[in-house]
Chain A
Amino acid sequence: MTLFSICWHNMLASVRGEMQYRASFIMSLIFGFLFQTVGFIFVAVILTRFEAVGGWGLWEVGVLYGIRLTAHGLWVVSVNQLFRFDQIVQEGEWDRFLIRPVPIWAQLMFTQFRIPPLGDLISGLFLLGIALPRVSIDWNAGLVVFLALAIIGGALIDGAFQLGSAAFAFRFLMTLPLRIVFDDLQGRFGSYPASIYDRPLRAFMTWIVPMAFMAWVPATVLLGRTAELPFPEWVAWASPMVGFALISGAVWLFVSQSRHYQSAGH
């Protein structure tokens, strides 16, 4: 509770800090809105131009797209300090994280307020809101819990890659390009059913960079399409676990790499 209040007040402080530069705050609001509008238009174009993608109906793809965008938004809203992590480490700003009596994860989460990530989350929820009622799903309590867990799990898959690659910043590597590549990959390929891809690409998305588990696999469960998965149905039900497993690995990597932090100016 105390920890929550610390995070919350740090977040508020960051909003007030942003608002000190009023013009830039308003500009980022406007651009954040424009950015998402363009995203929406793109989705709309895709969904209306193609009747079905790989046998998936328009709104079924909408559900999948919505799960991915919501999961992605959930992570970037919560942990957006990682966006400029290379700079934090290289310029020795990490010192400040280390001398505060607050867990590192809590300092990385909810301490910065940025508008574009908020846009991702809102658009994702919006898309889910309009797509879910337009597909036939036999809703029950289990399925609702599954959807929630799937979104959290998806956020953790996204996060595992962001955190895992950020860990190498402690070795003075530029990790932002790596993170942008993953962002781009999941944005471009992760938003459609993986069944439409060739076998090598699908295998890559499932087993190497398991972004298929962010949206495709959970969506097949919701939509009763598990038959098209290359593994048994129970694996699909367990898909949220993938995120939890990956994030544990990423946290371990991050913690072990953080021992190599060299600060700045000796």
Chain B
Amino acid sequence: MPMITATDLVKDFTRTRPVEGRFSTVRTLFTRQQETVRAVDGVTLSVDEGEIVGYLGPNGAGKSTTIKMLTGILVPTSGTVEVAGMVPWLNREANAMNIGVVFGQRTQLWWALPLEESLRLIGRMYRMPEDGYRKQLAMLTELLDMGPFLKTPVRQLSLGQRMRGDLAAAVIYQPPILFLDEPTVGLDVVAKERIRTFIEEINAERNTTVLLTTHDLDDVERLCRRIIIIDQGRVLFDGEAADLKRRYAPTRLVDVTVSGDGIDALAQAVRDLPVGVEVTSHDGMKASFEVAPERVAVSEVIAAISAQAPIVDISVSEREMDGIIREIYEAREVTR
């Protein structure tokens, strides 16, 4: 059952075009020239209940604008949105009950108050019964290790602590849908890991639907089976992360180093390689190959080489998600 659907979603932003030349500031005040920037340009997507979907794209691609339309903050210029069967901007309050939102760049907590008070206010706004609130608070305090800073004013929290507080605030009323806009931005490795584990647990336990934007592909590798990539407001790719990898990195990279007396043997082995292997470099004791696994097994290649040359070191790797995404962002398209 789809929890989130968007069809041909478009959002235009208008602003007054700045006038150039003499007295430009004053003339800008009186100009009627408007310019329209299309931030989201016909996005269609659908997310099923319980899915964690990574919503990726370079800066300015339209990720946050999409999220803001899905959360009911922005009204779409055209197209339709439904979140748990409701149009977010028309049923703003009912929609708000269903969703949890974290904007990594900006806190939703009360700046001057202790974290616990923010959580309590939120619990009250979402009409949580007292015992339910207590139970959730205790559970989240433990899961997110918030005990040490529950009584600290939010403005005094570290970024990692604040982000955990924001996550707690977004899930304490147990919404079936979570929108996480860069929840790991600016955090250290340990803090990122803690947040990933938390998202994973909430998703597993409550079957929460999660739409996540991030620039950290470790988040994606760890959490998202499915990803949607957008750029310039358009969907470039929507499918399994593994599929993208297969498309972009079908080959395995094998690096081999042989001992000093194996130089000739290696040269011979390189000449005798099975079909489906390509030599990318060969220089004395070292050689690198690209293996197409659908044509020949990596193990077979290794066996063939080691039968002829004394291998001292070997590594097999696949292309990293990072490189794939970089290539897509640069090419601004996805190869079929």
Q: Is the CB of A99 within 8 A of B75?
A: no
Interface residue B125 (Cβ < 8 Å from any Cβ of A): yes
Q: Is the CB of B121 within 8 A of A263?
A: no
Q: Is the CB of B13 within 8 A of A262?
A: yes
**Mask: chain B, 32-48; 1 = CB below 8 Å from A; 0 = not:** 00000001000000000
The answer for the CA separation of A16 and B151 in the assembled complex, in Å, is 14
Q: Is the CB of A100 within 8 A of B96?
A: yes
Interface residue B200 (Cβ < 8 Å from any Cβ of A): no
Residue of B nearest to A94 (CB): B73
Q: How far is the CB of B143 from chain A (nearest CB, A)?
A: 23
Interface residue A2 (Cβ < 8 Å from any Cβ of B): yes
Q: Is the CB of B126 within 8 A of A266?
A: no
Q: Is the CB of A100 within 8 A of B125?
A: yes
The answer for the CA separation of A96 and B96 in the assembled complex, in Å, is 11
Q: Is the CB of B124 within 8 A of A9?
A: yes
Q: Is the CB of B106 within 8 A of A103?
A: no
Interface residue A20 (Cβ < 8 Å from any Cβ of B): yes
Cβ < 8 Å to A, chain B residues 76-114: 89, 92-94, 96-97, 99, 101, 103, 105-106, 108, 110-113
Q: How far is the CB of A111 from chain B (nearest CB, A)?
A: 10
Residues of A within 8 A of B13 (CB): 262, 266
Q: Is the CB of B113 within 8 A of A13?
A: yes
Q: Is the CB of B75 within 8 A of A259?
A: yes
Q: How far is the CB of B109 from chain A (nearest CB, A)?
A: 10
Q: How far is the CB of B126 from chain A (nearest CB, A)?
A: 6
The answer for the CA separation of A103 and B93 in the assembled complex, in Å, is 7
The answer for the CA separation of A263 and B15 in the assembled complex, in Å, is 13
The answer for the CA separation of A132 and B105 in the assembled complex, in Å, is 55
CB contact between A101 and one of B96, B103, B106, B112 (< 8 Å): that residue? B96
Residues of A within 8 A of B62 (CB): 266
Residues of A within 8 A of B94 (CB): 101
Cβ < 8 Å to B, chain A residues 97-146: 98-103
**Mask: chain A, 16-27; 1 = CB below 8 Å from B; 0 = not:** 111011000000
CB contact between B73 and one of A2, A5, A16, A99 (< 8 Å): that residue? A99
**22 residue pairs from A and B, CB less than 8 Å apart:** A16-B112, A16-B117, A17-B110, A17-B113, A98-B71, A99-B71, A99-B96, A99-B99, A99-B101, A99-B108, A101-B125, A172-B15, A259-B75, A261-B73, A262-B13, A263-B68, A265-B64, A266-B39, A266-B60, A266-B62, A266-B64, A266-B65
Q: Which residues of B contact A (CB under 8 A)?
A: 13, 15, 39, 60, 62, 64-65, 68, 71-75, 89, 92-94, 96-97, 99, 101, 103, 105-106, 108, 110-113, 117, 121, 124-127, 153
Query: 4 closest A-B pairs (Cβ-Cβ)?
Result: A17-B112, A101-B96, A101-B97, A20-B112
